[in-house]
A and B are shown apart, each in its own frame.
Chain A
Amino acid sequence: MLTFRGVRKSYGDVVAISALDLTVRPAETTALIGPSGCGKSTLLRLAAGLVLPDTGTVTFDGLALSPATIEAARHRMGYVIQEGGLFPHLTARANVTLLADHLRRPRAWIDDRVESLRDLVRLPADSLARFPTELSGGQRQRVALMRALMLDPDLLLLDEPLGALDPLIRADLQRELRAIFGSLGTTVLLVTHDLNEAARLADRILLMNEGVLVQDGTFADLRDRPTGSFARRFVSAWDAP
């Protein structure tokens, strides 16, 4: 689905990702976890083509991402960031349908799709006519998810999607997201700094530190058999719920 081959990315003198090889498996939820600055967000941005690797290639569904191929690839990806990244000048509904409108999808198809996504993310019907500033934080993230899912993407990229929410809403949404991912069977690549969240949502957890992949496995692998001193410290700093 998504593979990284010998990918290296630096910003000036700062190396964000060094020599990374990784395959994100289809229909799995993969969580990228690690301290801030470990390179997990850069990895997600490489996947979305927001930055290009210095060396190596990122391949999406057999196609190497490049300025020529990225736009078509993005139509098959959904992308959600911490604050949702909703456009404040558009209603929730217009945010959701922006790309479909641009691609001139049939009106009836759009209406059906919006309705079924609204059901899926359990957003109240009247919220769609509101502007982002008129929605709660949780509602904004639901709308952002609807926007990301609008064209039924093959890959969902989520950058700290619940990071700005208060703990109660966050826990609710984690449960719902898990159910949504399960029902859609979509490939998900998720960035979080919260091991609990990764444990709840992900089939596979990738622990990163200083631009390097430290451990690759399930939550149980990481909890019970951390490899190396960093992984041990990371796990021991986390209080089991």
Chain B
Amino acid sequence: MRNHWNIFIAFFRVGILGYGGGPSSIPLVHKEVVDNFKWMNDEEFGDLLALGNTLPGPIATKLAGYIGYRVSGVLGMINAVLATILPTIFLMILLLSSLSSIKEYDWVQGMTATVIPIVGVMLATLTWQFIHKAGKGMGWLQTGLVLLIVFVLLQVLHIHPGLIIAALLILALVKKDKAPNTEENITGREGDPS
């Protein structure tokens, strides 16, 4: 019960504070899930984010649903998704059926405008955390090089991020391991309690 309440609160806050569509909720989800409730660590969050970006569909509900499922099963999943989306859907229906002209949206948009740069700061902080981890993991020179290549692929050549992530995942899978017999170890791990 306590878990369900925590899931609800965490994703309610994410849904109601994430101005600027699904992507703006990423740093908020990170804050709740990694820092606040410690349901997963940075590595797992990174994996989830990568896969979430590779698969189609809205990112916020994929994050919420998966995390809810991991914390307390199917009910947790439903709880997390509903907490993320229901409050703002209600708000949307309420406002659209009570406001009569587009002029009346102006004050809503004025309020939202100030939140956009703050979301930017949160995303930039999260960016730095990921790059910092990468730098520690595989050395700064290599990280710098990889970052440069990825940046060119994404922003100059406009290759879809899903394709790059998918390619890297396949590369990681097919690359030969240094230690022999790992192939057997992996297939034999099915019954491993860890």
**A complexed with B:** no
